[in-house]
A and B are shown apart, each in its own frame.
Chain A
Amino acid sequence: MKIYADNAATTPMSRTAIDAMTRCMEEQYGNPSSLYSLGQEAKEILERAREDVAGVIGAEPREIVFTSGGSEADNQALRSGAALGKRAGKMHIISTAFEHHAVLHTLKALEKEGFEGTLLPVHEDGLVRPEELEAAIRDDTCLVTIMFANNEIGTIQPIRELGAICRRRGVLFHTDAVQAMGHLPIDVNADNVDMLSASAHKFHGPKGVGFLYARKGVRLTNLIEGGAQERSKRAGTENVPAIVGMAAALKEAAANREKNAEHMRVLRDRLIAGLGEIPHAALNGDAVRRLPGNVNFCFEGIEGESLLLLLDDRGICASSGSACTSGSLDPSHVLLAIGRKHDVAHGSLRLTIAEDATEEEIDYMIRNVKEVVEYLRGFSPVWRDLMSGKSQFIL
């Protein structure tokens, strides 16, 4: 059996998106900035894509800037919020300890430029506490950036509440919605969001394209200078086929969202229950307030990379927050942020299931993860020490 269970890393493109892109590449290859009809035709489908994307999140088309993906959108959002703050003499930015590196590393770069960052804790359940945001906001806070849903453990933040606090305190609010877009209901007005980042390949669109929503009146800082594309906020000839593919994928995801989510939640909970039978294992992140397709466990006494390699041999594509899978010495900053000790964070497994997952696939994964964990524990000196009482179980 072949199971792709790494949909948080990327998703296969939907047939609708492939068809839309193909048509665009074959027939609408004009440059949207050209005045002849072939160019204007490309301009037309570009603007229709903008309307479609805006429509899904309750935004105005002019509030959407197409980017090369989620990372660029995050970079631009933070740079913009920082630049606006600096002009007003406000140099304090609030974020969380488990953001994507596109946010954390941009924040680090801004700190070198004189900004001050505060990272809110995300607690054992992987959730930000609104009252802690309230307490962290200062007179010189210019921007709050908190992800909609976490990419590793899938926990869904109380965005509407957090946004309301920011609005009341007059602070710009950005959310990295890369994992949430197409999977959760999002309305930029009801959710009190000023800026939002998204990436197409997380909802069955193409790679290398995404968008930044910026509320009317929020002045964006350019990362790329050049032509007047995207209302002069992002230079470079638009990647029209990718943008069209993204819009088609997002419309489709939004139309089927509720039905898909309901199906996935049932299977997710079946997978969580099955893996929970493994002794000395623990689910990472809140069990309920999590993305419909996300399952993330720590297994004591084993290391994640060997687990992934053996699952790959059995046809299962998964990922881990182990240091060995990232090429660094530290395990995932997300798992450390929710308080997992290094020892168990190395033994993490993330399975992110697809909309068309089946019960049979879930049971196959449960069976095989159980077998592989048991096999690896069988010759793990860490497990031996735990079992003999020489060291204490953490989980």
Chain B
Amino acid sequence: MALYSEKVMDHFRNPRTVGVIEDADGVGEVGNARCGDIMKMYLKIDDDVVSDVKFETFGCGSAIASSSMATELIKGRPVSEAMQLTNKAVAEALDGLPDYKMHCSVLAEEAIRSALEDYYAKNPEKRPKE
């Protein structure tokens, strides 16, 4: 039995949105090197839509695949929808992750949220009213 699903291996081997956006509207970084996982996400936002997204990841196969899938899931989506991305959705889109790797999908969710928070912090007027 393989360690990871075909989907995970595909995203790990061919990460979709790897890279940096120099003039990003929101940047989020989560995790720490001590634990072996760091994800950094860069967002470009136009008209309340995530028009572009890139990531950099230090981590295992599932961390890289989770980053790739999470960015793909929010690309082209309204910010309000991106904000709702859950780790479960990331894991499901990857056809599942081993139990002890679920934290990688959590990290991906947190990285996206952190980048969006950064965007709101820079653009308080865009933050949705409670």
Contact = CB atoms under 8 A, between A and B. Distances in A.
Contacts of A313: 13
Contacts of B101: 324
Nearest to A328: B100
Nearest to B103: A329
Contacts of B34: 342-343
Interface string A319-343: 0001111010101000000000011
Given A379-B19, A380-B57, A381-B58, A306 B64 contact: yes
B44 interface: no
A309 B15 CA distance: 14
Nearest to A309: B61
Interface string A64-96: 000000000000000000000000000000000
Contact of B60 (A324, A382, A383): A324
Contact of A381 (B15, B57, B100): B57
A interface: dominant SS: helix
A52 interface: no
A305 interface: yes
Contact of A324 (B18, B29, B59): B59
B33 A384 contact: no
Interface in B37-90: 37-40, 55-61, 63-64
Interface residues on B, range: 20 to 34
Contact of B58 (A325, A327, A331, A380): A380
Contacts of A382: 33, 38, 58
B92 to A, nearest CB: 21
A331 B13 contact: no
B100 A327 contact: yes
Contacts of B13: 310, 313
B33 A346 contact: yes
A264 B52 CA distance: 51
A303 B58 contact: yes
A302 B64 CA distance: 12
Interface size bucket, A side? 20 to 34
B74 to A, nearest CB: 18
A342 B35 CA distance: 7
A313 B14 CA distance: 13
Interface in A343-357: 343, 346
Interface string A245-287: 0000000000000000000000000000000000000000000
A303 B29 contact: no
B64 A381 contact: no
B36 interface: yes
Given A327-B100, A381-B38, A381-B39, A306 B60 contact: yes
Interface of A: 301-306, 309-310, 313, 322-325, 327, 329, 331, 342-343, 346, 379-384
**When A and B form their complex, which 3 residue pairs have the shortest distance between CB atoms, in order from nearest?**
A324-B60, A305-B60, A343-B33
Given A306-B64, A379-B15, A381-B29, 7 more contacts: A306-B61, A309-B61, A322-B60, A331-B36, A379-B18, A380-B57, A382-B38
